[in-house]
A and B are shown apart, each in its own frame.
Chain A
Amino acid sequence: MHALESSVEHPAAAAAPAPSSAPAPSPSSARALAEILASRSLRMVAVLLALWTGLALHPDTRDAFLTAGNFSNLTAQISEIVIIGVGMTLVILIGGIDLSVGAGIALTGVVAAKLQIDHHLPAWVACLGALGVAGLIGLWHGLLVTRGRMPAFVATLGGFLAYRGLGLVLSDARGLSPMNADFQRLGARLPAGTSTGICLAAGLCGLALVVARQKRRRALGLEVDATIRIALTLFAIGAVTAFAAVIYQDGMPVPVLLESLAVALGAVLLRRTRLGRYAFAIGGNTEAARLSGVPVAATTIAIYALTGLLTAFAGIVAAARTNGVTPGNAGLMRELHVITAVVIGGTSLSGGRATIIGTVVGALVFGTLSNGMNLMNVNSNWQLIFTGAILVGASLLDSMTSKRRA
């Protein structure tokens, strides 16, 4: 405030053209480091690493937990949560909610299964069918919320009840299996060589993006990022790439590939497209967004439709992994698991704040708890208690640290 006051004292500056400025030196590393350490996602990464360390040291789990196969499983187990989580992050960002995704998994699984088992259609047609149904469902939610001016909670609560019912009706409440061979491949593993290639290619992409960002900033006369930030980013990219190459040495599960693609898509959408920028604006201040010419209704509808499509992907992956669908159980409670992952990841339920990477970390925390408890043969009831405690703890941390802004 005071800095500004002194500068506004010279209105003559308004008339003068902006002099070309030389690239400013990068901000002090100490400040950059402080910013990085204050990052919400990083704090949850620390929680995740602490959990992993605990499980790696605990006598009941130390043999089984820290193995490539277990991590490969863990990341495949959370694929449904992550895939839908990408859409849910956007939905929650704009101040909405989607309670229907668990039922959506069941319904889209049934549609895909019916098309290939009863109608003997190829796998790709079955997938398109599921995607079509879920896309329409998402569109419907978007219309209810915008044109119907309905609270998202109610609009999707209707879906929560109806879609599982619809799945049960379509399947006569019977389990459907087995899926055809092509479809089952969506739940299988990639060849080992391909997996390693994908990991390395992804790492190189990350590296290229970091370099391109610095070049672009320099070209426009902006200061480049602090060295420490660049170094830590590169270290993180390297570490994740190496870790992935190791845990998928026997072949990456296809669900993991799909979940990674969903994450990449979500991150780009959120940070590098107008849809994402508009979502932040709508979540932060809807009225301001509207008055700035942001197409609020269209953006909202698109986000619900996208969540529908991602639900279908998750339904397909779930059906492929288990080689069948039991409509009464498929995706049961998944909507709550997804919301838990998103909230642990730091997305604000009151809108305006979200990261995709946070959601991924949230899903990993969720998955690690269930994986670790299973390895320890702990009663799954304890799993609920621990997950609940972490969810509340993470939210409490948020409300305590953001108190100053209130």
Chain B
Amino acid sequence: MTTPDGARLELSGIVKRFGGVTALDGASFAARAGEIHGLCGENGAGKSTLLKVLAGVHPHSSYHGSVRLDGVELTMRSTTDARRAGVAIVHQELTLVPEMTVAENLLLGREPRRFGFIDDAAVEARARALCDRFVGQGSIDVRTAVGRLGIGVQQIVEIVRALQDEARVLVLDEPTAALTGSEAARLFEWLRRLRSAGTTCIYVSHRMDELFALCDRITVLRDGKTVGTVETAKVTGQDVVRLMVGREMAIGTHPSALSADAAAVLEVRSLSVDGAIEDVSLELHAGEVVGLAGAMGSGRTALLSTLFGCATTKVSGEVLLGGAAVQLSSPRAAIAAGMALVPEDRKARGLVLELSVAENLALPLPLADADEAESIAERRIAELRIRGRAGSAVATLSGGNQQKVVLGKWLHHPPRVLLLDEPTRGVDVGAREEIYGIITALCKKGVAVLMASSDLSEVQRLSHRILVLRRGRVIAELPAGASQDDIVAHSTGLPTSPACTP
């Protein structure tokens, strides 16, 4: 089956150019049968391009170098070719069709036919068998439209679809980006099981803890080149980060102490939103970061949206800013009251991708003329170290720099309360540190920050206090030093020690 050196999948000397831009410049790595092989690198290092080569999205003729599976050279011209060859890809963005059912999605492109027509009953029966086999008996109603399922379940449907071909190589691109801690833990358990069955798994992630928990070896990419493949057991996270960024990173740990008499800036009393949050009360002080932890759908995003005036259903309760009650009827009202929101999905809700960096930065400002907008933009670009010109389309920036633009929108008139929803999702290590720096600096100026994040190390790192949400309620308030185990235990409803429950 395998070549003498034990490599199942071998990519060597891959060079891929888009016009004048070299995305891959001789990237290579080899993964063994029955191995979970990590792949990491900063945004723009070439991971996505490398995956697209593997997936057959970039046809064989469009790049240089070779891809070998069990010693046989693959010359894939399409995604179908890759699938037939035994390479299954689970993309970072879900590739399901929300309007179609689970069954239709699972068998998309391979519908069983009878007398030349799609056999719907067979589609359903096969989908049900797949879910029974991979997820558990009767676990998913395959007749439900995918759009009605939670993101965690959608991710599982996505992986089941990839697995159905008895893939020899399973490629996962940031599979936990939208999963809760417990969902991720189950996924890992499942991947280890696949590994013992001989499947090779390529695991792409930004998260060091995941890479170290799961992978046998890790290959690091930088600027389109492979900088090294390391045995996980023999190195530390620091070593890998150093390979990724090519320099030492100072990793701070805890937020600085608050002055004891900091005034309450935001008070929320018994806030409820139909179908989303129930009876939430909290208090936020000047210069304080309060972390919101909890599973997907626990109400983190709903709480932030409601505070920013975006609730779509009935709201009750009271919100006070600086002691005065405010009506949060629209984002416009929220902004006027001194709030700012950095939303979860920056491309859909944070930025107008077609507009320039300067135009995006000027969006919340009242009618700044073009020259004024540009001078403000220049200041922001220097201050936040945004790597991009004022005039360039914001879509051309990397994720981290786009996120800095979203933050920068609110800095001309610094808000009293900054609402952050997943502030560093899809942001590389270097830019992440810079964003943390910006948040910390704002706090020092007295801005109060309410931050929702599914990255627990981020919550630990920045928060003075941590509120854990479950099913729309605040079920625990933890101090700055709380462990990840503690947070997870509360958010899943399985407290480790009775003393922790409120």
Contact = CB atoms under 8 A, between A and B. Distances in A.
A272 to B, nearest CB: 4
Interface string A41-74: 0000000000000000000000000000000000
Contacts of B132: 13, 18
Given A18-B129, A293-B78, A281 B121 contact: no
Interface in B304-327: 312
Given A222-B125, A288-B97, A8 B137 contact: no
Interface stretch (B149-157, B244-252, B394-402): B149-157
Interface string B79-112: 1100100000101011111111000100011010
Contact of B190 (A14, A281, A283): A14
Contact of B150 (A1, A284, A405): A1
A216 B122 CA distance: 8
Interface in B367-422: none
Interface in B115-142: 116-122, 124-125, 128-129, 132-140
Contacts of A9: 186
A216 B125 CA distance: 11
Interface SS of chain A: helix, strand, loop or mixed?
helix
A210 interface: no
B125 A220 contact: yes
Number of contact residues on B: which range applies? 35 or more
Contact of A292 (B108, B186, B189, B190): B108
B442 to A, nearest CB: 31
Contacts, number: 139
Contacts of A280: 97, 99-100, 104
Contacts of A294: 108-109
B193 interface: yes
A30 interface: no
B121 A291 contact: no
B147 interface: yes
A18 B133 contact: yes
A3 interface: yes
B108 A277 contact: yes
A5 interface: yes
Contacts of B96: 285, 288
A68 B125 CA distance: 45
Nearest to A1: B150
A290 B119 CA distance: 22
B83 A293 contact: yes
B434 interface: no
Contacts of B89: 291
B312 to A, nearest CB: 7
A268 to B, nearest CB: 7
B71 interface: no
B116 to A, nearest CB: 8
Contact of A403 (B118, B125, B156, B312): B312
B297 interface: yes
Contacts of B99: 280, 283-284, 352-353
Contacts of B134: 14
B136 A220 contact: no
A291 B91 contact: yes
B119 A216 contact: yes
B196 to A, nearest CB: 10
Contact of B95 (A220, A277, A288, A405): A288
A14 B137 contact: no
A18 B136 CA distance: 9
B108 A289 contact: yes
B138 A7 contact: yes
Contact of A273 (B117, B121, B135, B148): B117
B118 A217 contact: no
Interface in A15-39: 15-19
Contacts of B116: 273
A238 to B, nearest CB: 23
A287 interface: yes
Given A274-B111, A293-B80, A1 B153 contact: yes
Contacts of A15: 193
A213 interface: yes
Contacts of A291: 55, 57, 79, 89, 91, 95
B189 A284 contact: no
A11 interface: yes
A7 B186 contact: no
B328 to A, nearest CB: 19
A17 B133 contact: yes
Given A274-B118, A352-B98, A221 B109 contact: no
B182 interface: yes
B183 interface: yes
Nearest to A18: B132
B118 A11 contact: no
B139 A8 contact: yes
Contacts of A281: 97, 100, 108
Given A216-B121, A222-B125, A353-B99, A13 B78 contact: no
B97 A272 contact: no
B139 A213 contact: no
A272 B112 CA distance: 11
A213 B98 contact: no
Nearest to B275: A404
Contact of B183 (A5, A19, A277, A406): A5
A4 interface: yes
Contacts of B91: 291
A268 B147 contact: no
B139 A285 contact: no
A147 interface: no
Given A222-B125, A274-B111, A280-B100, A287 B136 contact: no
B111 A14 contact: no
A288 B94 CA distance: 8
A119 interface: no
A114 B297 CA distance: 65
Contacts of B95: 285, 287-288, 291-292
Q: Which 8 pairs across A and B sit closest by C-beta, in order of nearness? A: A7-B139, A284-B97, A288-B95, A7-B136, A1-B150, A272-B117, A13-B136, A18-B132
Given A7-B139, A272-B117, 15 more contacts: A1-B297, A4-B135, A4-B140, A13-B132, A13-B133, A14-B190, A17-B133, A18-B133, A217-B124, A220-B125, A273-B117, A277-B108, A290-B79, A292-B108, A406-B312
26 contacts: A1-B297, A4-B150, A4-B152, A7-B136, A11-B186, A13-B132, A13-B136, A14-B190, A220-B121, A222-B128, A271-B118, A273-B118, A274-B118, A277-B104, A277-B111, A278-B109, A280-B100, A281-B97, A281-B100, A281-B108, A284-B100, A288-B94, A293-B78, A293-B80, A405-B148, A406-B312
Interface of A: 1, 3-5, 7-11, 13-19, 213, 216-217, 219-222, 268, 271-274, 277-278, 280-281, 283-285, 287-294, 352-353, 403-406
